[in-house]
Structure 1
């Protein structure tokens, strides 16, 4: 998740900074397609008969190019790293730009500093085959609505306008919390973003709903080993699932009983979403782990 900074209302921004207009854009597909022509002839065909026995094949190949919003954050960097490991071209967008720590995969990512309220979409979305948004954060009610909801809505609409065929949103588990807690800006912002994804991308939009995400989180040069807590808790909850399941209907019970999710599982589930045409809709904690296993090898 990215940290939150206050942004001015979109309506107060100069028109050049408000994101893409609804004017016609260049067709990104035409910019990123590679045309391949090959010929095939069955064995035994004489050279003089080659033309009559040959088959011309023309294929349109669109290279995988994923844009990760919040790419230098905890979840975003894991997705960038996983995508690079699978040979996918990656553009990482975040306010801080390139991460300050080192890693061989970092040099293979095209880092673009900026945020969705000001970013030049021409620079990042042309030719993209998928957008993954990890944007989210905490703060005042207004701030949480803006960063969890409005920022993601802007990103979804920009991706749709530029013809990006897939959008993946990293959201949050559907906790059975009391209504007064679920009405907070954090949750209502996330659900607003989810609705936009599923509305604009009904057959290709993906919403991943993890609970507590653990892993080695880097903050200001320090590494916070969240896996020391998350991993054993996940194992215990999965081992005792048959005993704790009857308690899941109790209000707020899944704050304790929803299994934590490895940041690598979230990342690989996102890669599965990027690559599989039949992968769309809302995915729960268990489904995220299942999806990750399919591409982890």
Structure 2
């Protein structure tokens, strides 16, 4: 009988992260979630405020990604580590979705060319920082930039995971950017992928590139998914003539549960490495679903 696998999911109380935890629990893995708030606010990520039955099998830990001493001990003897943190807009994007903040305000912050200028080049920090040294954390929501959340936090986590001998590092990246998002959203994701692959070759890096994700529990995603699906169908009928312009909007959306299943299936398969694009995500999710039918 094989030993129980251990997975640590950073951002495990979020929309996708919680579903990755669910998929890992279904495989009887030992699951730990790390986030600043610990236990999820279930009403914001599911259709009910009541914790689902599987959630009681997850260790919900508190920790700030930019303060390694708060969470490095959790990586000890972990088989897999997943980075599922990030921001869609350089703003309180959860506030945008809930109506507390204007989407226009979020977009204005995202397209501000001055954002990210304070963030030191992570290519240098990877080599220079010593074990136990805390990264300079954001001190206000205005400092939550793409460079810090999409790129720097990923590299910081990968460095600590490699130091602990973690077998595989999963990073939730993104499919080609939709035109409504600034180029830095995707470029910082790609920078993180490149640094992790180059600097930590001893650790299998798996970079998931999902399209727009939806779930009925988050109603705002359903209407957006319908629009994205229409763009995908049009792109297919025209032979992808507008693929470069549509970006992720030209790729059919996937259900968040399917992406989560694909993440766990990929981590368990030692042959999966590097970027995982949408077709492979679908194949991995299908493979995971078939296993549940056996």
Same fold at TM > 0.5? yes
Equivalent position SS for 1:73? coil
Contact in 2 for aligned 1:70/1:133 (Cα 8 Å) = yes
Paired residues of 1:212 and 1:260 also in contact (CA < 8 A): yes
CA contact (8 A) 2:10 2:35 kept: yes
Kindly indicate whether residue 278 of structure 2 is the aligned counterpart of residue 279 of structure 1: no
* Residues 239, 71 of structure 1: alpha-carbon distance in 2 compared, 3 angstrom cutoff: same
- Residue among 77, 82, 90 paired with 2:23: 82
> In structure 2, how many angstroms separate the alpha carbons of the residues matched to 1:258 and 1:83?
27
- Residue 170 of structure 2 aligns to a residue whose secondary structure is strand
Equivalent residue for 1:58?
A: none
- Equivalent of 1:270, from 257, 263, 270? 263
What is aligned with 2:40? 99
Given that 1:72 and 1:99 are in contact with CA atoms closer than 8 Å, whether structure 2 keeps it comes out as yes
| Partners of 1:214 and 1:231 within 8 A in 2 | no
SS in structure 2 opposite 1:79?
Answer: helix
Shift of 1:256: 3.1
Structure 1 residue 197: deviation in Å?
2.6
Q: Deviations over 1:250-277 (max 9, x none)?
A: x422343111121112101111111101
- Superposed CA deviations along residues 73-98 of structure 1, whole A, max 9, x for unmatched, are 10100101111112111000111101
For residue 279 of structure 2, give the secondary structure of its aligned residue in structure 1.
helix
Cα distance in 1 for residues equivalent to 2:32 and 2:247: 35
Equivalent of 2:62 in 98, 113, 120? 113
* Cα drift, residue 247 of structure 1: 1.3
- 2:238 corresponds in structure 1 to 244
Question: More deviation in 186-195 or 86-95?
Answer: 186-195
1:148-203 deviation line (CA, Å, top 9, x unaligned): 1111100011100000010011001124869x942x2x223211211123221477
Q: Does the aligned pair in 2 maintain the 1:216–1:227 contact within 8 Å? A: yes
Cα separation, 2, equivalents of 1:79 and 1:274: 11
Unaligned runs of 5+ in 1: 1-35, 37-60, 218-222
Pick aligned residue for 1:164 from 157, 163, 166: 166
CA RMSD in angstroms comes to 2.6
Distance 2:27 2:231 in 1: 31
Structure with the higher fraction of residues in helix conformation: 2
Give the Cα separation in 2 of the matches to 1:284 and 1:160. Answer: 24
Larger radius of gyration: 1
Secondary structure at the residue paired with 1:226? helix
Aligned to 2:76: 126
Q: Counterparts of 1:138-149 in structure 2 under 5 Å?
A: 138-139=89-90, 140=109, 141-142=115-116, 143-149=145-151
Q: 1:272·1:279 contact (CA, 8 Å) conserved in 2?
A: no
Q: What's the offset of the Cα at 1:123?
A: 2.8
Residue in 2 that maps onto 1:257: 250
How far apart, CA to CA, are the structure 1 residues paired with 2:282 and 2:24? Answer: 17
Of residues 222, 229, 233, the one that matches 1:227 is: 222
User: Residues of 2 paired with 1:117 and 1:132: CA distance?
Assistant: 15
Deviation at 1:213, TM superposition (A): 1.1
Structure 1 length normalisation: TM-score?
A: 0.69
- Counterparts of 1:53-92 in structure 2, within 5 Å, are 61-92=2-33
Distance 2:219 2:201 in 1: 36
The gaps in structure 2 that reach 5 residues or longer are 43-50, 91-108, 110-114, 117-144
Cα deviation, 1:118-159, whole Å, max 9, x if unaligned, reads 143343101100011111113153222111111110001110
Flag the 1:198–1:105 CA change in 2: closer, same or farther, 3 A. Answer: same
Count of matched residue positions in the alignment of Structure 1 and Structure 2: 228
Greater strand proportion: 1
